[in-house]
Amino acid sequence: MKIEDAMVLAAGLGTRLRPVTDTMPKPLVPIAGKPMIDYGLDALAEAGVKRAVVNVHHFADQMTAHLASRTVPEIVLSDETDRLMNSGGGLAKGLKLLGREPVLVMNADLFWIGEKPGQKTNLQRLADSFDPETMDIFMLCVKLEDTTGHNGKKDFSLDTEGRLTRYREGSGTPVVYAGALALMPALLDDAPDDAFNLNIYFDRAIEAGRLRGIMLEGHWITVGTPEAIGAAEAVIGAFREAAA
């Protein structure tokens, strides 16, 4: 399925990343010389996304100035400076700035490396395989051993048909949610106007048998603490050296 709209969830306070985030928003923290959010926005652009909503709150002026320099994808700001809306509320608010076509959703504090040149990217695979007839949410997943910076928690179990359920020992393949998914905006038409966690919709989709997943190719990186910056840069350096 062709997906040209996206939303990047970027409004969090980044409290675990202090003192770095005492002077800048978490999505602008540079990792190997590149702000975190630009890894995700570049991946969206490569996947064919033309327009991306980005929600802003913490140091919103810095975010606005940085994003103004981008032309692809076109950036639309969702202003949460008055009130943080959490993952679900932020997504529901941001989707109102887009149309009714399918949307890719990404978190701004994670990215991946090591995709194979000449092959479809993870986001292209996610978009191509999204089928709203059979799934409410189509989620990019990753094996724990292919992550850096993660807390070690397994989020879901993935069965042989691609269905996801909450992680349970001995049930399917244990995976971590890689912070990227595809959905139809209509899914959140009944969302409240208040802050709420997107996990509510994950659980609804599981109950309906309509939460599906696909495995990430490459290595997944998340940066939640100051120590994680060095770990992320070391992994990126190793991948670059191996590819040279």
Query: Can you tell me which residue has the tokens 């679900």?
Result: 88
Kindly indicate the confidence band of residue 171, based on its pLDDT and cuts at 50, 70 and 90: confident
Closest CA to 223 of 209, 236, 240, 210: 236
Domain count, the chain: 1
Write the CB contacts of 243 (distance below 8 Å, at least 6 apart in sequence).
Answer: none
Which amino acid would we find at residue 26?
A: K
Q: Which domain holds residue 89?
A: 5-243
Residue 170 above 80 pLDDT? no
**Are the beta carbons of 106 and 8 closer than 8 angstroms?**
yes
In our burial notation (b when 16+ CB lie closer than 10 A, e otherwise), range 127-140 reads beebebeebbbbbb
**Are the beta carbons of 148 and 221 closer than 8 angstroms?**
yes
Q: What's 163's DSSP letter?
A: B
What CATH number is associated with residue 110? 3.90.550.10
Q: Which pLDDT value is given to residue 20?
A: 87
pTM: 0.94
pLDDT tens digits for range 184-227? 999 999 999 999 999 999 999 999 999 999 999 999 999 989 99
